[in-house]
Amino acid sequence: MRSTMRKTLEGIALGILLLVLSAALAGAEELEVGIAKDMPSVTVKTPTGETTIKRIQDTENEISGAFAKTSRACPPFCIQPMTPAEGVATIGELELIALLQDPEAIVIDSRTADWYGKGTIPGAIHLPYTVIAEQLDRLGCEVDFDGWDCTGAKRVALFCNGLWCGQSPTAIRAMIAAGFPAEKISYYRGGMQNWQLLGLTVVKP
């Protein structure tokens, strides 16, 4: 009797364990194309809730549309320097993703509204390069008698359309001129073109 009862309980426990394992495996999507070796995907907070950033899984996918273009008239679409201003750190996708996961950091899409409306990086806020120096209060600065007091400035990262886009470099220089500390600014030079070239998630605002 005890032996039968024990076998029944073991069978029930095994069944529960198998159900839990199969549910966990079903919930964990297996990605062929990850972001990095130990990072298949990441989840970031956005104004509309959490969004998962991952890469397009179709290994035959190719970039198309505006970001497939290799050549644009220069000026205005000239290749940008690696560093837009002294003291500013230029970063890549993994560093940008780390900032997107940092609740104390702000990632800024500094493009004009028409570009922003076509799609942006999940978790980025829109602050166009044309007005950013007037809205440093959104980035931890305070208005004082001389302009801006940026003692409490947050860590920020700016991006625009890519290596040929001058919008985020212009925004960065305007921020520094207004008193924002250069060492608190990162520049994602690859911008939307590199982001999409790598098949990373884009959201419509």
Buried b (16+ CB within 10 A) or exposed e, 80-111: beeebeeebeebebeebbebbeeeebbbbbbb
Tell me, yes or no, whether 186 lies in a domain: yes
Instruction: Quote the pLDDT of residue 15.
Output: 46
Question: What residue numbers bound the domain in which 11 lies?
Answer: 1-30
**Residues with Cβ < 8 Å from 60, sequence gap 6 or more?**
none
| Residue 69 within any structural domain of the chain | yes
pLDDT at 8 over 90: no
Number of continuous H segments (helices) and E segments (strands) in the chain = 5, 9
Within this chain, do residues 22 and 48 fall inside the same structural domain, yes or no?
A: no
What are the tens digits of pLDDT across the range 85-113? 999 999 999 999 999 999 999 999 999 99
Total structural domains within the chain? 2
pLDDT computed for residue 7 by the predictor: 55
Q: What is the CATH classification number for the domain harbouring 130?
A: 3.40.250.10
Query: For residue 166, is pLDDT > 70?
Result: yes
- Confirm whether 61 is domain-assigned: yes
Say if residue 125 is in the same domain as residue 154: yes
- Between 6 and 113, name the one with better pLDDT: 113
The verdict on residue 83 lying in a domain is yes
